[in-house]
Amino acid sequence: MPKRDRPYVIVTQRSPTTCEEGSLESPHETLGSYHVSSLKSCSDTTSKPVVPFRKRGRPKRQLNSDPGSSSGRIKRQLNTDPGSSS
């Protein structure tokens, strides 16, 4: 079955790499089993995913709005006065 023939429904997943397809008109009848590399997702812009994707991983770093404390450390000020001896 060609990749761009028309949209199909995945009826069952036989293994992690093989699934059975059915037509939209009669989804109970399987048209055949195909490898996942031969499938192409249907690019229908009006439909939304059944289960939305979760954002995974570490959250993005938020920058501070104060320009003086960019690193979060307190900077020591050295005594630069030449007249004082410490």
Per-residue pLDDT at 67: 57
**Residues, the chain:** 86
Which residues have CB under 8 Å from 31's CB, separation 6+? 1, 8, 20, 21, 22, 23
**One-letter identity of residue 50:** V
Average per-residue pLDDT in the chain? Answer: 70
23-65 pLDDT, tens digit each: 788 877 888 888 877 777 776 666 665 666 677 788 888 776 6
Q: H-type helices in 1-86, by residue range?
A: none
